[in-house]
């Protein structure tokens, strides 16, 4: 059982307002996208489901939706190299790809995904992330993993809610909360 303490970081209203702004910005940037080669929007499972649902509904350009599964965290600790599960079956050749991520932390996950899609011949690859923790970025990824659309930049905190979990709990919290796990004495 998780016995943690929560503090509010972003309210539901703040997140929704920001998503509306991001959707407008993305729609402007991809204006002119043809119906016969729509923007390929890839939602990373499972943390980005709520963010991407709201973001995609705000887009005014033709888009196709698919999902990626990348597992990288266990509890509040990175699990090591991200494990890339569904992306192998997605054909990105010649496509403009928008990866929708919940949070970019060390940058490892997005680096793996972008390299994979670049190798497979995507026409362009951009990242939209609800949250970004730039202070946590691995040194060698600081120049290369730079999200194109960022909901909020946040400090080095472990957050839950709006799709983000702690060991599968708290995804459904309507606000973005900082989580301080009681038993995690090393942090
Ligand atoms: P990265 O590969 O950039 O280190 O990690 C990205 C992934 O780690 C995110 O998609 C997310 O699943 C997880 N992650 C990173 N920081 C947090 C956090 O503060 N809270 C939660 N719940 N997950 C996080």
Domains with residue ranges and CATH for the chain: 13-154 (3.40.50.2020)
**Which of the four pLDDT bands, split at 50, 70 and 90, describes residue 69?**
confident
More confident residue, 176 or 79: 176
The answer to whether the beta carbons of residues 141 and 111 sit under 8 Å apart is yes
pLDDT at 90 (0 to 100): 84
Give bridge partners of residue 127 from the DSSP assignment: 99
**Which residue in 59, 51, 41 sits closest to 15, CA to CA?**
51
For residues 12, 18, 21, 23, the Cα torsion angle rounded to the nearest 10 degrees is: -70
Checking if the pLDDT of 159 tops 80, the result is yes
The residue whose CA has the least distance to atom 13 of ligand 1 is 73
Q: Is 129 in the pocket of ligand 1 (CB under 6 A)?
A: no
**Token pair in block for residue 164:** 């983000």
Checking if the pLDDT of 187 tops 50, the result is no
Residues 88-105 have pLDDT tens digits of 678 899 999 999 999 999
Q: Is 87 in the pocket of ligand 1 (CB under 6 A)?
A: no
120 C-alpha vs ligand 1 centroid, how far in Å? 25
Question: Locate tokens 């993305």: which residue?
Answer: 26
SS (H, E, C) 12-26: HHHHHHHHHHHHHHH
More confident residue, 77 or 35: 35
163 φ/ψ angles, rounded to the nearest 5 degrees:
100, -20
**Which of the four pLDDT bands, split at 50, 70 and 90, describes residue 12?**
very high
Q: Is 114 in the pocket of ligand 1 (CB under 6 A)?
A: no
Checking if the pLDDT of 83 tops 80, the result is no
DSSP letter assigned to residue 11: -
pLDDT at 89 (0 to 100): 75
**Token pair in block for residue 70:** 């990348």
Active-site residue, 105 included: yes
Q: Is 67 in the pocket of ligand 1 (CB under 6 A)?
A: no
Q: What is the percent of the chain with per-residue pLDDT over 70, rounded to a whole number?
A: 87
pLDDT at 85 (0 to 100): 65
**Which of the four pLDDT bands, split at 50, 70 and 90, describes residue 20?**
very high
More confident residue, 182 or 96: 96
pLDDT at 47 (0 to 100): 93
């Amino acid at each position: 059982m998780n016995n943690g303490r929560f503090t509010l970081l972003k309210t539901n209203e703040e997140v929704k307002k920001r998503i509306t702004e991001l959707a407008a910005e993305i729609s402007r940037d991809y204006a002119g996208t043809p119906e016969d080669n729509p923007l390929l929007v890839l939602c990373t499972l499972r943390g980005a489901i709520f963010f991407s649902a709201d973001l995609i509904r705000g887009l005014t350009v033709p888009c196709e939706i698919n999902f990626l599964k990348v597992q990288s965290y266990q509890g509040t600790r990175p699990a090591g190299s991200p494990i890339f599960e569904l992306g192998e079956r997605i054909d990105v050749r010649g496509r403009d790809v928008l990866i929708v991520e919940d949070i970019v932390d060390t940058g490892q996950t997005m680096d793996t995904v972008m390299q994979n899609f670049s190798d497979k011949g995507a026409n362009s690859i951009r990242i939209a992330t609800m949250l970004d923790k730039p202070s946590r970025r691995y040194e060698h990824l600081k120049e290369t993993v730079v999200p194109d659309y960022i909901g909020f930049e946040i400090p080095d905190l472990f957050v839950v809610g709006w799709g983000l979990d702690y060991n599968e709990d708290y995804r459904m919290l309507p606000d973005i909360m900082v989580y301080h796990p009681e038993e995690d004495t090393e942090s």
